[in-house]
Amino acid sequence: MAILLPILPEVLLLALGILILVLDPFLKKGVNRRPFLGMFTAIGLLITLSLSLILARPADPSLVFGGMLRFDWLGFLFKMFFVFAAAVTALFFMDTDTLNQRAEAYLLLLAATIGMCLMASSADLVMLYLAIETTSIPLYILAGFLTDDDRSSESGFKYLLFGALTSAVLLYGFSLIYGFAGTTSVYELGIHFSNFDLLAVGITFLVLAGLAFKVSLFPFHFWAPDVYEGAPTPVAGFLSTASKAAGFAVILRLFMVAFPVLSPDWSMILAVLATLTMTVGNLIALAQKNVKRLLAYSSIAHAGYAMIGVVAFSQLGIASTVFYLIAYILTNLLAFGIVGIVGHVTGSDDVSSYNGLGRRNATLSLAAMVAFLSLAGMPPFGGFVAKFFVFSAAIQSGWIWLAAVGVLNSIFGLYYYLNILKYIYLYRMENQDEDQHPLPVSPPVALALVVLVIGVLLVGTVFGPWFGFANHAALNLF
Amino acid sequence: MQFPFLSVIVFIPMVTTLVLLTMKPEQKKAIRITALSAALLALALSIWVYFAYDKAAAGYQFIEKYDWMPMLGISLHFGVDGLSVPLVLLTGIVMVTGVMISWGIDDRPREFFAFLFILASGVFGVFASLDLFMLFFFYEIAVFPMFLLIVIWGWIKTREYAAMKLTLYLFIGSVISLVGALVMFWTSGAHTFDMLVLETVKFSPDFQKIWFLPVFLGFAILGGIFPFHNWSPDGHVAAPTAVSMFHAGVLMKLGAFAALRVGIMLLPEGARFWAPLIMGLALVNIVYGAFIASVQTDFKYVIGFSSVSHMGLVMMGFATLKPEGLIGAGVQMFSHGVMTALFFAAVGMVYDRAHTRDIPKLGGMIKPLPLVGIGVIIGSLVSMGMPGFSGFVAEFPIFMGIWKTQWLVAVIAAISIVVTASYVLLVVRKVFFGKMPEEFEGHIPPIGMLDKIALVLLMALMVGIGLFPALMVPWVQSGVQHVLTLLGGA
């Protein structure tokens, strides 16, 4: 049994998925399915989370399964957040028509989560590629799950096309690496990439292109707004948080471990990419009227901020990127959860559908305030400390201009996030009395939101322990 | 172990916010009473801290230190010195009077007081923090509720514009300072955000010269320094009464105080190098602010620009780097805070009744609103630095300090006193005396009990400090001593 410990979360996820498939035919059509499927998945994920936390904590990092996976804190920490994000997303699914009736939706969610868990711990290029595909394929389907909605189909198809293309590029890069280095093990590649030549740069570019797509770095960000807008909102939330964090887990491992010698020279390229990603994301977000598109562009910008920690190329840099992702997962899930609720009730994701929200549901509005201010980087919410740490890491490594670009960018961010708050609190519904249009939140979604709000506040105030985990993951990476 | 006064003061408003948010929005009365009791408690504690502060011992007192994140040297570190203890008291006073004056807010009072108290918590936190990280943490906490308070409860015509402008200005300032602070942290090699340690680090003169300006100006934006003062009158005018009081009364001091604490005290060499520039900017503030104020026709804009002018005096006091100037600046921060709070409260009371702030349209308000009139008159006397009022105690030393540094600047700055006198007296005459326009006859109800208490409290402070400077000056003096030591005993 001990051999299964490193993949305990994956095993449990798989068991949960099979259980859902087996139970599904016995469920009657109709109302009962909704609470059952969602709660069952969420509780199952919660059990997975707690069992893994209790039983499967890594000790010293070690390569397992013939060097395919690495059992370390970086992988473990990310896995726990993926499982958490999946649990929250499962609760959000319950409020989305179609998704909440179909066991397949939950199964696909679990399959994608398994893929992400493997992505975070892969130590071999073959394993890594398989994990990425295991993540992506279910997500393509989920994005296009609402077959009677043209936008959802378009979203799924677009995601598939872009995804397949960049996967091919990534795979090509991997094959070249194998051809030149003669090994696929991430931890042995470092020796082979010992000098900085054109070939190495070319190969790394191919790999970077594939990964940049996953985390929506400029110039591979074009898919994000269209896909997020069309996909069911909880799926978009999952895509923008867990899937993006999984991409960053891979970036951290590859760029810190496999291509370390390249890094000093690479840092400048990555710094420019981070700058462009932040700036493009934030500038385009300024003009958005659709909240899902706005969050898509903002999530592009956030990938840029998280990238700053990678550029810093230091222990603090890695830890701050990991911490950034923790704060970002919690915050953005919260934001998408709120968008989901409002979209569900008003039938629109336009920013004007937030008019009068402050009067229709004061508590939900406070949650929205927490989410958007945390995205903007305001204390006492998670976003502030997260930004503080990445900027701090950048300055420690001498990237003062990058930190300056980052803080200036956060001003754009503040503008459009505050703008949404203006719709929520200031503007009124047209010719209608808000008291007549309360905006109810169903209990499971309310539960998820409460957990996320508490999470965002905890990460923002009691940040010591969280940063401790992130730092531990960073220490363990090599 | 002594009672943790400062953390209790800082967290009372925060906890109150949480309590308020759990109450039902319909229980408006209960919400107001909760808010007022919390504010009174915070005030009581800050009065206690003020008088228990040992002036003879000076230095930082009421120190509390809890390791928050040892890995990066961040701790929750509170303590006050002679410069910050009056500001903590000021915050308590403005908080109580602000709540009293906002009693009549009927649109979502729960959210109003909740946001106001988050703001108050941030302000207390900045004044009491001895940790650079925590200072930023609380600083930002004080910035964002402002946006919501102005945008939701502000003056309908300009609130969206002004709220966004204000928030962006302040945020830009704070993030620029933040970069500077991080550079200081890594350069110091001390691996701590503890300002008491950073004070002892001798940064190289070149480093100080480069980084002083961004750090100082970043904070000074909130202090309304020229040419970044533009947000402040707009913000004051658009904000609801209590928020204007908080804003001009306390928040601008936040900027000035942080500029002193982080800019001048941690980078003294840089301060010495850039002092002439700061002095020049402050001079523009003082004179230009006064002239602009004198041509306004909106009562609230007059006060808004007079704040720019008066905050210029605070910056000027800092820039002298002389004991007189610094003491004056310290007292001015308190005195101006009380005076502005009173002015804005008075403007709010007049506006609520007359529904206009256009000075030519007002008149004869002294009859229906005698106490407001007296308040504004006393405020005006403070504002022009009349002996016997707190303004004199503050401005006289500042001018002494300037004179010792550069007599020409003192002469030019003195023009502002004349201009100030002319516009405040004009406002008093037009708004409170003369003939009341007919449409107001019999339509100006008297002010309520709580309003009266708030006004009297503010007036008493201004007269009290004016007559008995010993109630404040020794405190400030003990704080200034420490600043001067850091500046190298100049």
A244 shares its domain with A292: no
User: Mean pLDDT in chain B?
Assistant: 89
Report the 10 Å Cβ neighbour count for A168.
Answer: 12
| pLDDT tens for each residue of B339-383 | 999 999 999 888 888 888 888 888 888 888 889 889 999 999 998
Asked if residues B203 and B187 have their Cβ atoms less than 8 Å apart, the reply is: yes
Q: How far is CA A399 from CA A275, A396, A471, B185, in A?
A: 12, 7, 20, 14
Q: DSSP labels for B70-139?
A: GGGTEEEEEEE-TTHHHHHHHHHHHHHHHHHHGGG--S-HHHHHHHHHHHHHHHHHHHHB-BHHHHHHHH
Do the Cβ atoms of B137 and A380 come within 8 Å? yes
In a domain, residue B61? The reply is: no
A244 shares its domain with A279: no
Query: If pLDDT is split at 50, 70 and 90, which confidence band does A262 have?
Result: low
User: What stretch of H or E contains A131?
Assistant: helix A125-143
Report the 10 Å Cβ neighbour count for B11.
Answer: 15
As for how many domains chain B has, the answer is 1
| Residue A29 structural domain | 1-261
pTM of the model: 0.93
What the block records as the tokens of B88 is 């903590």
Q: What's the gap in Å between the CA of A426 and the closest CA on chain B? A: 5
Instruction: Over range B176-190, report the average pLDDT.
Output: 89
| Residue B226 structural domain | 5-54+66-486
In a domain, residue B60? The reply is: no
Q: What's the gap in Å between the CA of B13 and the closest CA on chain A? A: 14
Question: Which candidate from B111, B141, B182 shows the least CB-CB separation from A403?
Answer: B182
A41 shares its domain with A132: yes
Q: What's the gap in Å between the CA of B172 and the closest CA on chain A? A: 7
Do the Cβ atoms of A373 and B144 come within 8 Å? yes
> In this complex, is the C-beta atom of A435 within 8 Å of any C-beta atom belonging to chain B?
no
Asked if residues B244 and B96 have their Cβ atoms less than 8 Å apart, the reply is: no
| pLDDT tens for each residue of B287-307 | 999 999 888 888 889 988 998
Query: If pLDDT is split at 50, 70 and 90, which confidence band does A194 have?
Result: low
Query: If pLDDT is split at 50, 70 and 90, which confidence band does A196 have?
Result: low
Do the Cβ atoms of B160 and A422 come within 8 Å? yes
Residue in A243, A370, A234, A349 with CA at minimum distance from that of residue A303:
A243
| pLDDT tens for each residue of A6-51 | 899 999 999 999 999 898 888 776 666 777 888 889 999 999 999 9
> In this complex, is the C-beta atom of A378 within 8 Å of any C-beta atom belonging to chain B?
yes
Report the 10 Å Cβ neighbour count for B411.
Answer: 12
pLDDT attached to residue A264: 65
- Domain end, chosen from A261, A276, A294, is at A261
Question: Which candidate from B164, B176, B182 shows the least CB-CB separation from A395?
Answer: B182
Report the sign of the C-alpha dihedral through residues A161, A163, A169, A172, in that order.
negative
Q: DSSP labels for A245-310?
A: HHHHHHHHHIIIIISTTTHHHHHHHHHHHHHHHHHHHHHHHHT--BHHHHHHHHHHHHHHHHHHHH
Question: Which candidate from B68, B137, B168 shows the least CB-CB separation from A415?
Answer: B168
Instruction: Over range B413-422, report the average pLDDT.
Output: 88
What letter would DSSP give residue B361?
G
| pLDDT tens for each residue of B221-234 | 988 888 888 888 88
Q: What's the gap in Å between the CA of B198 and the closest CA on chain A? A: 17
Instruction: Over range A178-204, report the average pLDDT.
Output: 79
> In this complex, is the C-beta atom of B354 within 8 Å of any C-beta atom belonging to chain A?
no
> In this complex, is the C-beta atom of A438 within 8 Å of any C-beta atom belonging to chain B?
no
Side-chain-side CA neighbours of A350 within 13 Å: the count stands at 6
**Cα angle: B463, vertex B466, B468; to 5 degrees:** 105
A313 shares its domain with A209: no
Cis before A444? omega within 30: no
> In this complex, is the C-beta atom of B110 within 8 Å of any C-beta atom belonging to chain A?
yes
Residue in B419, B385, B416 with CA at minimum distance from that of residue B294:
B419
Cis before A380? omega within 30: yes
A252 shares its domain with A336: no
A476: left (phi over 0), alpha (psi -120 to 50) or beta: alpha
Instruction: Over range B393-400, report the average pLDDT.
Output: 90
pLDDT attached to residue A147: 86
Q: DSSP labels for B104-115?
A: G--S-HHHHHHH
Above 70 in pLDDT, residue B426? yes
Q: How far is CA A478 from CA A270, A314, A434, A471, B345, in A?
A: 21, 12, 56, 13, 62
A37 shares its domain with A129: yes
Which of the residues B148, B168, B174, B193 would you substitute to probe the A interface, choosing the one with the greatest number of A C-beta atoms within 10 Å? Answer: B148
Instruction: Over range A149-153, report the average pLDDT.
Output: 90
In a domain, residue B340? The reply is: yes
A368 shares its domain with A465: yes
What the block records as the tokens of B45 is 């504690």
| pLDDT tens for each residue of A119-128 | 999 999 999 9
Distance CA A239, CA A351 (A): 21
Residue of A nearest to B189 (CA): A396
pLDDT attached to residue A254: 87
> In this complex, is the C-beta atom of B151 within 8 Å of any C-beta atom belonging to chain A?
yes
Please report residues of A whose CB lies closer than 8 A to that of B164. Answer: 415, 418-419
Instruction: Over range A101-127, report the average pLDDT.
Output: 92
- Domain end, chosen from A261, A292, A319, is at A261
Question: Which candidate from A366, A373, A391 shows the least CB-CB separation from B182?
Answer: A391
- Domain end, chosen from A261, A282, A310, is at A261
What the block records as the tokens of B95 is 């908080």
Above 70 in pLDDT, residue B93? yes
| pLDDT tens for each residue of B97-148 | 999 988 888 888 888 999 999 999 999 999 999 999 999 999 999 888 889 9
| pLDDT tens for each residue of A354-380 | 988 888 888 899 999 999 999 999 888
Report the 10 Å Cβ neighbour count for A24.
Answer: 16
Please, is A431 exposed, middle or buried when counting C-beta atoms within 10 Å of its C-beta (0-12, 13-18, 19+)? Answer: exposed
- Helix axes of A103-121 and A8-23: crossing angle, nearest 10 degrees: 170
> In this complex, is the C-beta atom of A407 within 8 Å of any C-beta atom belonging to chain B?
yes
As for how many domains chain A has, the answer is 2
Please, is B47 exposed, middle or buried when counting C-beta atoms within 10 Å of its C-beta (0-12, 13-18, 19+)? Answer: middle
User: What stretch of H or E contains A471?
Assistant: helix A463-476
| pLDDT tens for each residue of A205-237 | 889 899 999 999 988 988 999 999 999 999 999
What the block records as the tokens of A179 is 């051809």
Distance CA A163, CA A211 (A): 10
Residue of A nearest to B169 (CA): A411
Asked if residues B101 and B113 have their Cβ atoms less than 8 Å apart, the reply is: no
Do the Cβ atoms of B71 and A471 come within 8 Å? yes
> In this complex, is the C-beta atom of B377 within 8 Å of any C-beta atom belonging to chain A?
no
In a domain, residue B59? The reply is: no
pLDDT attached to residue A218: 86
Residue in A228, A225, A194, A193 with CA at minimum distance from that of residue A207:
A193
Query: Which amino acid, A118?
Result: L
- Whole-number percent of chain A with pLDDT over 90: 60
**Cα angle: A254, vertex A255, A261; to 5 degrees:** 120
A280 shares its domain with A337: yes
Do the Cβ atoms of B138 and A384 come within 8 Å? no
Do the Cβ atoms of B25 and A362 come within 8 Å? yes
pLDDT attached to residue A280: 94
> In this complex, is the C-beta atom of A362 within 8 Å of any C-beta atom belonging to chain B?
yes
Question: Which candidate from B69, B72, B178 shows the least CB-CB separation from A407?
Answer: B178
Asked if residues A311 and A267 have their Cβ atoms less than 8 Å apart, the reply is: yes
Which of the residues B121, B182, B210 would you substitute to probe the A interface, choosing the one with the greatest number of A C-beta atoms within 10 Å? Answer: B182
Query: Which amino acid, A420?
Result: I
Which of the residues A389, A399, A419, A421 would you substitute to probe the B interface, choosing the one with the greatest number of B C-beta atoms within 10 Å? Answer: A421
pLDDT attached to residue B490: 46
Do the Cβ atoms of A380 and B70 come within 8 Å? no
Distance CA A93, CA B101 (A): 47
Asked if residues A209 and A166 have their Cβ atoms less than 8 Å apart, the reply is: yes
Q: What's the gap in Å between the CA of A273 and the closest CA on chain B? A: 21
What the block records as the tokens of A156 is 């799924």
In a domain, residue B170? The reply is: yes
Find all residues with CB under 8 Å of B113, minimum gap 6, and list them: B16, B17, B20, B31, B32, B34, B35, B99, B102
Interface A-B, measured as beta-carbon pairs within 8 A, has a size of 92
In a domain, residue B402? The reply is: yes
